[in-house]
Amino acid sequence: MATMRATRMVGVGQMICEEIDVPQITDGQVLIESEMASICGSDLHVVMMGAGLNHPFPCPHGYPGHEGIGRIVESKAAGLVEGQHVLTFPNPPVGECFNEYQRVGANYCVPLPDCDLPRSHLLMAQQLGTVIYAMKKHPRDVSGETVAVMGQGSAGLFWTYLLKQAGAAQIIVSDLSDTRLAMASSYGADLCVNAGKGELSSAVRDVTTGRGVDYLVEAVGRADTFRESVDHVRMDGEIMWFGLPSVDSDIEMRFHKFFRKRLSAASTYGAQDETDSASFREALDLIASGAIDVAPLLSHIFPVEKIDEAMHLAHEPHDDQALKVSIEFS
């Protein structure tokens, strides 16, 4: 029987790569030879923090990888044929994107558009698609508004780009990485704050003359930024809590301030289960057309055998100026 390289989470902060048999697929699935997979912020909450674990240790191989790209080598699904290159976006509990071969349901992959871009660029459509999905589920007209985006990982950067394209007049962003903040400027940020060197509250106060921003996106997912988010929004403003929680326990919040400001807030997930994968298709089209340049995001690529090193870098990216950390199977 053929074998493959497969990753496995064996403990919090511990990933290994080992050789196992290539799995069999069932009706409605395709078997994909993986080319690349990206590490999502939600993967780091699971692997590095132990938050949101769906399995006991050792976890199933390939988990929790859910941002992948590869070639179909076997199909038992209508409309998907061998040889097609596809973007894969399985739900994380059953994700196998960190394996050399992954089993994916027909609803969780879409064929790549025909374009001259490297497929590594098209891989970024998974993360971009989740932001597009969130904006469609909770639409807001930001034309002429002042907006803040906390966190400038790939998700936060995509929020910055799309909000500027939607007409936001001023976008204030924060992150711990100067590299990410420099990228944010090219994506449309008007003011960048290093959260380790300055206070976002001071920047918001100066830009809005003490009023607060109209709309804020929390794209970090940490308890402290979740609590802090209510501080920066004006009366009757709105918050999008986009970051996946980094802990399983309850997070305290400043509800008195939230209440007195008459704030509205929303959160969302589940882009993978959207009808016809519309947001991922839209993301692929944006990248393939050149409307958004994702090339600078691809800062670090590791062979799958170094999955543990890749996870640790993605978790602490600042010293090495990492943006999006990916793994490859060549």
Q: Where are the domains of the chain?
A: 3-127+271-328, 139-266
pLDDT of residue 211: 98
Name the β-bridge partners of 14: 11
The burial class, CB within 10 Å (0-12 / 13-18 / 19+), for 304 is buried
Q: Is the peptide bond before 303 cis (omega within 30 degrees of 0)?
A: no
| In contact, 21 and 321? CB cutoff 8 Å | no
Kindly report the pTM of this predicted structure: 0.97
Name the β-bridge partners of 298: 324
Between strands 213-218 and 146-150, the pairing is: parallel
236 phi/psi in degrees, rounded to 5: 65, 20
| CATH 3.40.462.10 for the 3-127+271-328 domain, yes or no | no
Superfamily of domain 139-266: NAD(P)-binding Rossmann-like Domain (3.40.50.720)
pLDDT of residue 244: 87
């790569």: which residue's tokens? 17
Which residues does the chain have with pLDDT short of 50?
A: none
15/325 Cα distance (integer angstroms)? 15
